[in-house]
Amino acid sequence: MEAYLQKVYDQQNLTREEMRDVATAIFAGELTQAQMAAFLMALKIKGETIEEMQAIAETMQGVAMQLPMDGANTMDNCGTGGDKSMSFNVSTTSAFVLAAAGIKVAKHGNRSISSRSGSADVCQELGIDISLQASDMVYLLENAGIAFLFAPHVHPNMKYVMGVRRELNTPTIFNLIGPLTNPVQLETQLMGIYRRDLLEQTATVLGKLGRKRAVVVNGGGFTDEASLAGENHYALLENGEVTLHTFTPEDVGMESRDLEAIKGGDAKRNAEILLSVLKAEPGAYYDTVVLNAGLGLLAHGKVATLEAGLAMAKQLIDSGTAYAKLTKLLECQKERLVG
C-alpha cells in the first residue's frame, strides 16, 4: 500500500488493479486521515485516469447496498456538484420529468456540496424518505417509477472519507465518481460534471461500467448541468463510441439566461422552486428544467434529437404528468411504509 501511495505522490498513474487495491483499503477504513488527504490531493494534482476512475467506482459499487432488481429502462441524472453555482436543485426537479416519460429513475444524490440545499435536503423538505431499505427502494422504482437513493445510506463505507472530504473543502475524485456508483446497474445515464476537460473520459468510463447510452454534460458557465448561460458541451456515449457535441440555447430555440436567474436558496426555498416548475410556472427555473430533462430524454434514447426532447419535456410538465409523478412517489411511499 505504501508503494501505491508513493507512486501517486510521485505523480505516476496507478493501474486498474493498483487503484482497486487502494480503494479497497479506503473503504475498509485502513488508511489514516492524513494518508487519505495526501492521496486525494496528489491524485487531484496528477489528474485522474480512466483506469483509476473505473477501478474506484467498481470497488465502491462492490461494497454498496445491493438493490435486487434489473436495471433495464432505468437511469440516473445526478451530477458531480462542485461548480459553486449555488443553483436550485435542477437534476432532482428534472428527475420527475424523466420519470413521467416512463423511464425508471434511480435518483442518486447527497446533501449540499456546492449549493445551500442538496438533493437529499430538498427531498426531505418534500416529504420523501431518504433512508429506506433496499427492498423499499425497489418497490418505489417498480410502482412509482422513481426512487431517491441517498448516497451515504447506500454507500455506508463512505463514512471513512466523509471527514477528509469536508475538511479539504475542494472537489476530489469522489465528486467525479459519485454519479458513476449508483447501486442499480443502469442502462442509461445523464451526468453533469464540473470539469469540461473530462467529458470524453467520463463518458468512456460510463461505457466500461456497463452503460449502453449516456450523456455527460458541462453547461454554459461551467456548470455541472446544462445551462442557458452560454455554450454547453457534452459527450454522447452510443454503441460503444463517444462523440463530442456543443450547443447554445439559441441553437435549440431557447432564450439565454444568466446563472444568477437560477440561484436557489435553502431546502424550503428550493422545494418551492421545484414545485413551481412542476406546476408549469414560466421563467428561468422552468426553462432550465426543460433543457436538462430534454437532454436526459436524449441520453436515454427516448428521443432522437435534443429538440424533440425539449418538446417532450415541456409537454410532460405542462400536462401535469411530471407533478403527478411526485404525488405518486409520496403515495407509494406511504403505502409501503404505513401499509
Question: What average pLDDT is seen over the chain?
Answer: 94
Residue pLDDT, tens place only, 15-62: 999 999 999 999 999 999 999 999 999 999 999 999 999 999 999 999
pLDDT band for position 114 (50/70/90)? very low
What is the rounded distance in angstroms from the CA atom of residue 51 to the CA atom of residue 55? 6
Judge contact between 199 and 123, C-beta under 8 A: no
Residue pLDDT, tens place only, 258-289: 999 999 999 999 999 999 999 999 999 999 99
Q: What residues form the annotated binding site? A: 79, 82-83, 87, 89-92, 107-115, 119, 165, 224-225
**How many domains are contained in the chain?**
2
Q: What residues form the annotated binding site for anthranilate? A: 79, 110, 165
Same domain for 16 and 140: no
- Which of 108, 159, 163, 161 has the alpha carbon at shortest distance from 130? 108
Average pLDDT over residues 209-213: 97
More confident residue, 319 or 165: 319
Average pLDDT over residues 320-339: 94
Residue 268 belongs to a domain: yes
Pairing of strands 232-238, 241-247: antiparallel
Same domain for 96 and 15: no
Burial label for 11, CB within 10 Å (0-12, 13-18, 19+), is exposed
Same domain for 130 and 211: yes
Give alpha helix (H) positions in the chain. Answer: 2-9, 16-27, 33-46, 50-62, 90-100, 119-126, 134-143, 151-154, 159-168, 173-177, 199-208, 267-278, 284-300, 306-318, 321-338
Residue 239 belongs to a domain: yes
Of 32, 60, 88, the residue that ends a domain is 60
pLDDT of residue 151: 86
What is the rounded distance in angstroms from the CA atom of residue 288 to the CA atom of residue 92? 12
pLDDT of residue 118: 79
Q: What residues form the annotated binding site for 5-phospho-alpha-D-ribose 1-diphosphate? A: 79, 82-83, 87, 89-92, 107-115, 119
pTM (two decimals):
0.95
Does position 313 have pLDDT exceeding 70, yes or no?
Answer: yes
Average pLDDT over residues 152-180: 92
Judge contact between 27 and 60, C-beta under 8 A: yes
Same domain for 245 and 297: yes
Residue 163 belongs to a domain: no
Which residue range is the domain that position 201 belongs to? 74-154+182-329
Which residue shows C-alpha cell 447527497?
Answer: 110
